[in-house]
Structure 1
Amino acid sequence: MQQIISTQIPLSSNGIFNNHKHYPPLHIIIPAYNESRSIISVIRRIESSLMLYPYQFRITVIDDGSSDSTYEILQNSNLNISLKKNHQNLGKGKTMRRGILQSKKEEIVVMIDGDGEHIPEDISRLIDPILTGKADCVIGSRFLPRNSSITLSGSYLKNQKKHSYFRKAGNNLISFLIYTFFRRWITDSQCGFRAFAPDIAKLYKPTYSGFEIETEMTLFYILNNFKIVEIPIDTGLNTRESHMNILKDSMKILFVILSLRFKKFDNVYQKIRTKILK
């Protein structure tokens, strides 16, 4: 794959933006599918936490054809957001791409899920490696330890999510395969809480529409030699069970890794996906 040259951020001599007037604005993108119980709280927490910092920011919510009242609740709220709706469920990949395409060249793009698992107060920590010039892409890791007795082994297993141990085992397998084939150890390739330096997010064009997007996105930035940094994040108890099917979606992720590593395998994967992994 041809290398893409990373966009340079205008930094001061010590690698930090000179003052808040030089901070890039933030574009917060929230994909939402049946998040009526959590989405308002997530948005309000984003607003209240970012108000503490000298950032300009805007929030875009894309409802991915929810079958509950997510869209109506947001439509009738007085929140200062840009609200979009997919008229049918298109999947996370296409939904995120729709939000990314509405980002401006100068904006740092932040992706955060709408189910309440990610902590909005961590956004300032997430974008810090970008502001200091250390990263083009920042991934929040639920498996890296924080300097806290509560989260010494990462926060994921402490959020009471169903089948957490199986999910962690699957994530470890994905990390191992990525390291084996691409020589980069990523502890949490599946986390949807991410940030991108200005004009970086648009370079990635998703091939897949489901939960494979996080892995495909991670591998895109690895293959094109972008600076990737993971930071430890806490996780909350989301208000619903994951939409992810552990077995089926894990197989999809596995085939994405193989198809990107072995290009000839891609046609085989597409046939399997069409016939078996719908």
Structure 2
Amino acid sequence: MSKVRILVIVPAYNEEGNLGPLLLKLREHDIDIVVINDCSTDKTIEICKQHSVEFIDLPNNLGIGGAVQTGYQFAANNNYDIAIQIDGDGQHNPEYIPNIIEPIIAQKADLVIGSRYISKEGFQSSFVRRIGIRHFSHLIKLLLKQTITDPTSGFRACNKSLIHFFAKKYPSDYPEPETIVTLLRNKRRVIEVPVIMNSRENGESSINKIKAVYYMIKVSLAILIDFFRVSNKEIA
């Protein structure tokens, strides 16, 4: 059996204080890395060059959804078997990469989510975000009868089939909960594995309290619209 080709997609927007240490940790694993620079105004590109990491320099700020989809397009075009998302803010610990990809390699899952709420250790996110996380968890349980404890987690991995699907279709804002609903609605296997996340050491999140409420409402509506769509055969 040929070697499984694995790509780590790192979306980054002004994360110069966190990106270098993250890339050092990722280099400890035998996997390829691509940083998607979402039109940062800091030294993101210089850091990528210092660490000899491949990067895509977006000419315009696309937001998290557009940046991650660019990574999936890169993965699809370069025939990767597994793609892993890891945020550029340093909150996701690369030591859990083997745990994230194992169910995919064993063909037990199509998407694997790293959840901080299984073992409930480490950084548990801010109060406002925890409210949003619980809201989306309850909504997914209500609609699709599956418990997802950490539906907003950006620490996730998927197989080749989903790489190609996400390369063509990926939500623009706060995409994680919406993609989970789409996959479950299409009878794809979504599971969680426990991880411990870190708190942000440098910089500030682009999502403040007002944006968090806005996204919670917007994404909830998108989830409901997606759930009640007639077609149920979107993913090959």
TM-score by length of structure 1 reads 0.75
One-letter identity of the residue aligned with 2:161: D
Secondary structure of the equivalent of 1:83?
strand
Secondary structure of the equivalent of 1:190?
coil
Instruction: Please identify, of 119-128 and 21-30, the stretch whose mean Cα deviation from structure 2 is larger.
Output: 21-30
Which residue is equivalent to 1:35? 15
| Counterpart Cα distance in 2 of 1:257 and 1:178 | 9
Instruction: Please identify, of 37-46 and 63-72, the stretch whose mean Cα deviation from structure 2 is larger.
Output: 63-72
Question: Gapped runs of 5+ residues in structure 2?
Answer: 231-236
Which residue is equivalent to 1:261? 227
Question: Gapped runs of 5+ residues in structure 1?
Answer: 1-20, 146-152, 265-278
Which residue is equivalent to 2:45? 71
Per-residue deviation at 1:127? 0.5
| Counterpart Cα distance in 1 of 2:10 and 2:224 | 29
One-letter identity of the residue aligned with 1:42: L
| Counterpart Cα distance in 1 of 2:37 and 2:20 | 13
One-letter identity of the residue aligned with 1:186: I
Asked if the contact 2:11–2:38 (Cα under 8 Å) also holds between the matched residues in 1, the reply is yes
Per-residue CA deviations over 1:231-256 (Å, capped at 9, x if unaligned) read 01111121233222221121222112
Which residue is equivalent to 2:233? none
Asked if the contact 1:106–1:199 (Cα under 8 Å) also holds between the matched residues in 2, the reply is no
Per-residue deviation at 1:106? 4.4
Identical-residue share of aligned pairs (%): 30
Secondary structure of the equivalent of 2:56?
strand
Q: Is 1:91 the equivalent of 2:60?
A: no
Which residue is equivalent to 1:234? 196
| Counterpart Cα distance in 1 of 2:123 and 2:187 | 28
Moved over 4 A (4+): none
Asked if the contact 1:206–1:217 (Cα under 8 Å) also holds between the matched residues in 2, the reply is no
Asked if the contact 1:94–1:206 (Cα under 8 Å) also holds between the matched residues in 2, the reply is no
Asked if the contact 2:64–2:173 (Cα under 8 Å) also holds between the matched residues in 1, the reply is yes
One-letter identity of the residue aligned with 2:113: I
Structure with the largest fraction of helix: 2
Asked if the contact 2:10–2:36 (Cα under 8 Å) also holds between the matched residues in 1, the reply is yes
Per-residue deviation at 1:37? 0.4
